Amino acid sequence: MTKAFIFPGQGSQYVGMGSDLYNILENAKLRYTSAADILGYNLAEISFQGPEKKLRETQFAQPAIFVHSIIINDYLKENGIFPNAVAGHSLGEFSALVSAEILSFEDALKIIKVRSQEMSQAAKINPGKMAAIIGANEEQLKIICTQKGVVVPANLNAIGQVVISGEIDAVNNALSTAKGLGIRRIVPLNVSGAFHSPLMAPAREPLQKIINSVSFHRGTVPIYQNVVAEPVTDIEKIKKNILNQLEKPVLWINIIRQIIQNGMINFFEIGPGNILSGLNRRITKETNTYNFDKMEHLNGYAML
């Protein structure tokens, strides 16, 4: 069975994530110990015990999701289950890079440490917000994003489901415009900044510096990257794309469509929650998506 491993991004975290894996898998303990050494704090404690407010903070949420995802990725591979392609939503792209063996666990976490801290700092320099727009067509989305100030599409997640990002007043005006157009559902997101927008520009230079300081390797499988929605194997292009991801939208709909066009309809969502499984169902009915979050999901796969 050909399959794609897909990895969730920020927003999928929850208090208690990974605790069952930690209690059973020796590799999970090793990963969390390594993470503590790199990050300089006890990530396991924050992941398992919270509090939720702290776990939602960008500098903690991003490493927590990444480590959880890689532990599951490791377990599947140890049991002979390998991907034919990988992709990750925003932060999840770094999990995908590790799964494809383009980055080591340690080097990816070093990048994420800087990325999360600098994105959090950029949000303080350029305050912003994000909101999901449900049910808008392409023309309506253009009207919604035509505002004074910065407001852009940030995540093209599924048919009729787009997240916008930008300056607080501009996004608020965009939401008022959306209501005026009769958009059926508008959901402000509980995030700390305007991710995937020009407001993240202050994070670019520090991120580029850490990207250039670690080793990238030729991948074992193609990675479908957020900003181009196509498989990439060239290392310099991969570096450029993860840097551009700071300010560019996540083209998730096109990623899933491209993977399907290339012959894969079986998706393994690897990491906390099941957000990507839900998006897949909205994008197409042609796929089979299996969710791997807890130990029970890993044990249950043997029954498929």
| Catalytic residue list | 90, 196
**Range 142-146, long-range pairs (CB < 8 A, 24+ positions):** 143/177, 143/181, 144/174, 144/177, 144/178, 144/181, 144/183, 145/174
**Spatial contact of 253 and 156, defined as CB atoms under 8 Å apart:** yes
Take residue 46 and report the two structure tokens written for it. 């924050």
Q: Please state, as a whole number, how many other Cβ atoms lie within 10 Å of the Cβ of residue 170.
A: 22
Point out which residues pair with 257 in neighbouring strands. none
Task: Report the C-alpha gap between 193 and 106 in whole angstroms.
Answer: 26
Task: Report the C-alpha gap between 296 and 277 in whole angstroms.
Answer: 17
Alpha helices in the chain (DSSP H): 19-24, 26-39, 43-49, 52-56, 58-78, 92-99, 105-125, 138-144, 168-180, 204-213, 235-244, 252-261, 275-283, 295-301
Task: Report the C-alpha gap between 37 and 31 in whole angstroms.
Answer: 10
Take residue 135 and report the two structure tokens written for it. 């049910």
Task: Report the C-alpha gap between 244 and 238 in whole angstroms.
Answer: 10
**Spatial contact of 9 and 130, defined as CB atoms under 8 Å apart:** no
**Spatial contact of 131 and 144, defined as CB atoms under 8 Å apart:** no
Take residue 71 and report the two structure tokens written for it. 């532990």
Q: At what angle do helices 92-99 and 235-244 cross, to 10 degrees?
A: 160
Q: Please state, as a whole number, how many other Cβ atoms lie within 10 Å of the Cβ of residue 153.
A: 21
